[in-house]
Structure formats: C-alpha cells, structure tokens
Structure 1
C-alpha cells in the first residue's frame, strides 16, 4: 500500500531543486549601484559566489550590506574597490576572485557611463578627451576584462554578458555621440567575440537597456530632481516609451541571469536582447493615433 505519510519537506523533497547558480562564480563590474547592484543581489540569492566592484567604496558597501541582509553568507561575497579602466584594477578583480572562490564561471561587463564634457559641450563640440575616456570605460575595459578572464572561462565553459545600450542602435544620438559610438562598437565586439569564443565553449551575449531608473543620469551631472523629471517625461510620452513606464534595474538584471543560465539560453549566441519598453520600435508618425489627428 502506498505510504501517504511521507515527508516531502526540506532536503527529502524530490521536487526541490538546488539554486541554479550554486557553485558558480560571477564577476560583475560596476556593481555598486543600479543594474549591477540588482544583478549581484539576484545572482547571490540564486546561489552564486559573487565579486562586486566599483570605484565608490561607500556605494559598494551599500551593495554588500544589501546582499548580506538578504540572507547570503559572507563566504559567498567578494567586495573589491577597484577602477576597471586600469590594468591594476582588472588584475585585482581576477586575482581576488580566484583567491577566494577558485574559479570564474560568469563575467558581467556592466561598468559604463556617459561621460559629460566639463564645459557642458555636447555633440561635435565635445572634447577628444571625453571621447577617449568614454571609449576607455565603455569598450576598452570590456575588451581587457574579456582577455584576462578568457583562460578561466575556457576551463569552466563559462558565460560573458555585456551591458550595452539602445544608444548603440542605428539611430542618431547627436547629443552624446561618443557614448553611442562606444555602445555600437560594443555590440560588434559582442558578435565577434561570440563566434571567436564559442569554439572554447564560452558563450557571449549582451543586453541593451533603454531608459532605466538608475544613477546613470546622475553620473552625467544631473541632480536627483532633474533625473526624476526626465524619467517622468519619457515615461508619460508614448513616442518615447510605448510601455509608458521607465525600466527598473531588476528588469535588466533578470535578463542578465537568463543569459547566464545555460539551461535556459544555451542556443543564444552573440545576440543582444533589447529591453526598452518598445522605444526602438516607434517612429514619430507612429506615436500618435491617426484617428485622433483626423478628429482634431
């Protein structure tokens, strides 16, 4: 006769699964706030060993405390104050991760920013120095981190997820063209490295967010009030965001985890998932109802 009194709780539950990133180690650059912070939290909660990093020690500590407060053990967390645009900072990230966790399975190249011109110039009036700094952070640092982590990902058959932007899509970005140039180049780098590295079992993909409510705009010199005003305007105009809502960091973080999960996304190679509430799908003439125009 069937035993109906079996205990299906705790470890005896045959339907219970291990956290999907248990035993995996991930490095997330730019994880002191925004998308990187959210991704670090989700990875850690899903069993991963996580190296978080950023230049701002205070904000990085906020990320560390947030993860620990969620119930994650200190033994699963490696916090490193470092500048990912420097060779020393990159080497510290890789070495400290290996020293604490032994292996590297996932690299999330999230660090990036639109760097403002000190004079307030935009477009073609921006200085060449801004161009160099923008590409160094948004492109060159990704290239250098990829090269340094490659041998370790070859060993683990790992994953690389780059964080690009809809600014890199084939639409003009006249105000902050250097940032757009860097992200367009990053998209091509993602495609090319994906084909180069898949022979070693390494998958490379990327995410291209649209407007997301993070500290991105603040980093360009805008105060909180101005940042909120921009988000409110964009999310209330369907020609800007058809979904009429600004993205949240966890919206993008969930896509990062999807691309890092080989069971779920194994056949996706060298692609960029656009997450923008529909922004890149509309033209100005499509953003308004023809019927409303005819009735007016």
Structure 2
C-alpha cells in the first residue's frame, strides 16, 4: 500500500512503542518520515528495521534530542522541511510519567517539580512544536495533526500519576482549541487516548523490563478491568493514528479524542465489587 506516498510525516517520541510502530507504518505506506527521540541507538535500530522492509533509507530522517527543548523542536521541523521539502502530518506522540516511587500527595515538597516536568513534556512541548510547524502545515494544504493523549485524562479521580493526568486532560482541551483554530486553514487536529499498551512506557518510569512484563501479564488476566482480555499493542494505536492522518478515510472527524483502551474506561469502580458476597 502507498496511501501516504508523497506525504512527509514527523513522529515525536519514536524511539520505541507506539511512536516507533507509527513511524514504521507510515514509512511502509509510502511516507517520508522524521523519527525523533532521546535514544539515538533506538532510532538507528528503527531506521534499519524500516530499510529491511524494503524502504529507501533516504526516506527516513533522524533527529536526536529532548522534545522539551525548543531548539530541538525547531531542528525537528526545519530539518524535515529542508530534507523533504514540506510537512504534511505531525504526530505528537512523545510523553512520559514523572512521579514518586511512593505516592506522597499533592502537598509534597516535590509536587511542583513533578507538575512542571509532566506539563513540560506532555502538554507544553505539543503546544510549542505545533506552533513551530503551523506555517509549514498550512503551506502544505490538507494537513493533519494527531496528538497522543491517554485515558488518564478522562473524568476519573486519581491518587497516582496526578500531574500526568492533568497534563493529558490539558492536551485533550488543547486538541479541541487547535482544531478550531486550524481547520479554516485546511489543517485537521485530532487526538487518540490509549489505555494500557504494552510498550516501553512502564520501564520509562524506572521499573525493569521484567517487572513491566509482569504488570502487563497480570493486567491481561483481569477482565473486570480490561474487558478485551488483553493489553493493547503499539499497532492497535498506530492503526488509529494512520486512520486519523488519512484525510480520505477520516475527513469529517475534527477536534475529536478517540479512546482506544479495550473497554477499560467503560468499567465503573463500583462494578468491580461483588456486592452479593455480603449475602454469603
């Protein structure tokens, strides 16, 4: 397939997980792709994987750096346009959780620092790089922005990862605001809200790979919280991202946040308690 032939795409946070899979699928469907993240070797490995699939190395560009750095954001956009001549699709995937190993509440001495780190990466960087990319997206015409949020943004109270949830809720609202601002210029903005996805996300919080694997396996066994009876994989989310980036398929979707969580957000906490047990 080559539905993105002639298109140029930036995928932030493409060192692994959802971002890497999304970049791979765009490339194999004909796009020129800029992959970016902090882990240079991961990006080189991804490029090699793409090339082994039969794609020319010249269609992949690597930018290594921290997405919260404005100079890195400018380099990502400017180098992409310089190499490929334009920018059609921006996927704002980079994100991570910053939290204490043991939750100590919003009044802890580290609360403001944790808040700032979560906001800077998960919200502020999206606002900034999209603003930098805006004139190029408008110039390319019929362009797309896809932001990657989380079901953490939904209307549930939380005692862990509070600032991450706040940042992602802000990203949902930013998506709606960007959509209204940019649609008159021919740029669509939408969002995907994944649930638990088996990727490097948990290990990025500091847990070793083996512990992350145990968490994913444990979660998959609890249908009361994960109705689909399995944890998501990166391709589950990448498929939705490409759908939203495909104007022919999703033209009439504007400013929407699409939840993809295997049904997790449908489950109310009260339903996890078997009240009939009181009668036994």
Q: TM-score range by the shorter chain?
A: over 0.9
Q: Is 2:30 aligned against 1:44?
A: no
Shift of 1:294: 9.5
Task: Report if the CA contact (8 A) 1:122-1:176 is conserved.
Answer: no
Shift of 1:121: 4.1
Q: What are the residue-to-residue correspondences of 1:227-266 with 2, within 5 Å?
A: 227-266=212-251
Q: Which TM-score applies when normalising by structure 2?
A: 0.94
Shift of 1:66: 1.2
Name the residue aligned to 2:122.
138
Query: Which of 51, 65, 83 is the matching residue for 1:82?
Result: 65
Q: Is 2:185 aligned against 1:200?
A: yes
CA distance in 2, matches of 1:206, 1:248: 18
Name the residue aligned to 2:138.
154
Secondary structure at the aligned position of 1:113 is classed as coil
Gap change, CA 1:239 and 1:122, over 3 Å in 2: farther
Name the residue aligned to 1:278.
263
Return structure 1 stretches of 4+ with deviation > 2 angstroms.
119-123, 284-290, 292-296
Query: Which of 95, 103, 111 is the matching residue for 2:86?
Result: 103
Q: Which TM-score applies when normalising by structure 1?
A: 0.89
Give the RMSD, CA atoms, in angstroms. 1.7
Secondary structure at the aligned position of 1:190 is classed as helix
Task: Report if the CA contact (8 A) 1:44-1:76 is conserved.
Answer: yes
Shift of 1:239: 2.3
Unmatched 5+ stretches in structure 2: none
Shift of 1:123: 3.4
Q: What are the residue-to-residue correspondences of 1:119-134 with 2, within 5 Å?
A: 120-124=102-106, 125=108, 126-134=110-118
Gap change, CA 1:295 and 1:46, over 3 Å in 2: farther
Query: Which of 2, 5, 16 is the matching residue for 1:33?
Result: 16
Deviation per CA, 1:106-154: give whole Å up to 9, x if none: 000000000133x744432343111111100000000001100000111
Aligned length in residues: 277
Unmatched 5+ stretches in structure 1: 1-17
Deviation per CA, 1:172-224: give whole Å up to 9, x if none: 12111000000000000001110111010100000000000010010001111
Secondary structure at the aligned position of 1:161 is classed as strand
CA distance in 2, matches of 1:215, 1:295: 44
Rg larger in structure:
1
Secondary structure at the aligned position of 1:254 is classed as helix
